[in-house]
Amino acid sequence: MTKLSANADGRNRVAQGYAAVTARIATVCANSGRNPTEITLLAVSKQQTVQRMRAAYDLGQRHFGENYLQEARAKQSQLPADCIWHFIGPVQSNKTREIAEHFAWLHSLDRWRIAQRLAAQRPETLPPLKVCVQINIDAEASKSGLPLSQAPAFCQSLAELPNLQLMGLMCLPRADGDPAATHAAFTRLRALRDKLSLPVLSMGMSADLELAIAAGSTILRIGSALFGPRESPNESG
């Protein structure tokens, strides 16, 4: 296949992905009495090409979510300046400065030390970094995120830090959960969010966006359903 037709093919794939995801969102909103305008679609572009991201941009997409810092930084320089960048992967201490300087949102905050560093490193010339606290909603040993029970105190402490704006909570339910278990996990996160009176619930991915919307999600993080399968594993950066 020539490069041009590969690009056209990629654009088609993204256009189809958008149409399918938009239709799924519309259907579940209609069935659960939600307004689609309350829901932000975050396009998770890790391991996706800049060409596919550009196709999404041309369809009106502005919010992009990335998990790996070096990959994200390379893409930021190749896409228009009005993209809104969300960091959604685990954060190491030595990455906080670049996250503070080059992202609008962080969805995966779960350590006080990281919060302190981000607060100190966020440039005063930028609006506060919007953050979601990641909750280990199924108490999985292997997963990042705060235990549910520690979330209220952690969220309260965040208010003491400058340059961060606590927006809400994020979770990644167990990958092997059945729909009932995933529904229960989303419902637990929703209850905690309501208790803390926060606006944002970052939950729902390609496979479970219906359950997430029904449980009150306000930010869907959708990758493969929009862009197609990811290109290659990227464990670095």
Binding site for ligand PLP (CB under 6 A): 44, 46, 67, 88, 172, 205-207, 221-225
Q: Based on CB atoms, which residue is closest to ligand PLP, 135 or 172?
A: 172
CB of 3 to ligand PLP, least distance (A): 25
DSSP string spanning 186-199? HHHHHHHHHHHT-S
Q: Based on CB atoms, which residue is closest to ligand PLP, 198 or 205?
A: 205
Angstrom distance (rounded) from CA 198 to CA 21: 26
Helix, strand or coil for residue 60?
Answer: coil
Length of the chain: 237
Q: Based on CB atoms, which residue is closest to ligand PLP, 7 or 144?
A: 144
CB of 205 to ligand PLP, least distance (A): 4
Angstrom distance (rounded) from CA 169 to CA 135: 7
CB of 60 to ligand PLP, least distance (A): 19
**Phi, psi at residue 119, to the nearest 5°?**
-65, -40
CB of 108 to ligand PLP, least distance (A): 7
In angstroms, the first-to-last Cα distance of the chain is 31
Q: Based on CB atoms, which residue is closest to ligand PLP, 17 or 216?
A: 17
Smallest CA-to-CA distance from 55 within 1, 7, 104, 91 is with 7
Q: Based on CB atoms, which residue is closest to ligand PLP, 5 or 232?
A: 232
Nearest residue to ligand PLP on Cβ basis: 223
The set of residues, in sequence order, having a beta carbon less than 8 Å from that of 35 and lying 6+ positions away, is 29
CB of 196 to ligand PLP, least distance (A): 21
